Amino acid sequence: MNIASLIIAYEQGELTGDETIELFQALIDNGMAWTLQGSYGRMASALIEANVCTRADGTYNTPDEESYPND
């Protein structure tokens, strides 16, 4: 499935937990997590902070700490 199809499936609640993690890792890796609506960036940030996903560069910091603060 392509990214657009996966996003639609995610928004319709059709992805498993593992599929959701794979989607968000792909969105982080290609940078889309930070350009889509805010809920995607917040979810990606939460998954990074939980050590479920990693940043494309291997860090656990978000690219814009002001927009996605570490609480």
As a whole number of angstroms, the distance between CA 59 and CA 33 comes to: 15
Say what the pLDDT of residue 61 is.
55
The answer to pTM > 0.75 is yes
As a whole number of angstroms, the distance between CA 17 and CA 37 comes to: 21
Identify the CA nearest to 43 among candidates 2, 5, 10, 1. 10
Count CB neighbours of 36 within 10 A.
13
* pLDDT tens series, the chain, 71 aa: 799 999 999 999 999 999 999 999 999 999 999 999 999 999 999 999 998 999 877 766 545 555 444 44
Say what the pLDDT of residue 71 is.
41
Which sequence spans correspond to the domains of the chain? 1-71
